[in-house]
Amino acid sequence: MDAPDFPEAWRTFSQGHVAEFELLTAEAGPGLDWLMVVPGMDLNAEAERTGGYRTAVGTVIDGPGRISHADLALALVDEIERPRHSRIQLAVSA
């Protein structure tokens, strides 16, 4: 987000996510189980479903950052049905 080539149109939106994450980590008590899922920069409704995805905790995933809505939905359902992460920021990309 601080890189010179980061799209200005996305900067305010991204800064909001940073503020949200900081609030969750600082203020959410032990009674709140949360997960912040962060899709790749190219969340694309037109992209084909691949049936797969990659995840990373607290970092950006290398590569083009593209994921289809269907693959993001798959990642969310997988996490709901078989929770593996808690109280973290989870990057998801194809």
Residue extents of the structural domains in the chain? 31-93
Q: What is the pLDDT of residue 93?
A: 94
Q: Encode pLDDT of 11-21 as tens digits.
A: 888 888 889 99
Over residues 31-60, the mean pLDDT reads 92
Q: Do the Cβ atoms of 25 and 93 come closer than 8 Å?
A: no
CA 55 to chain centre: 9
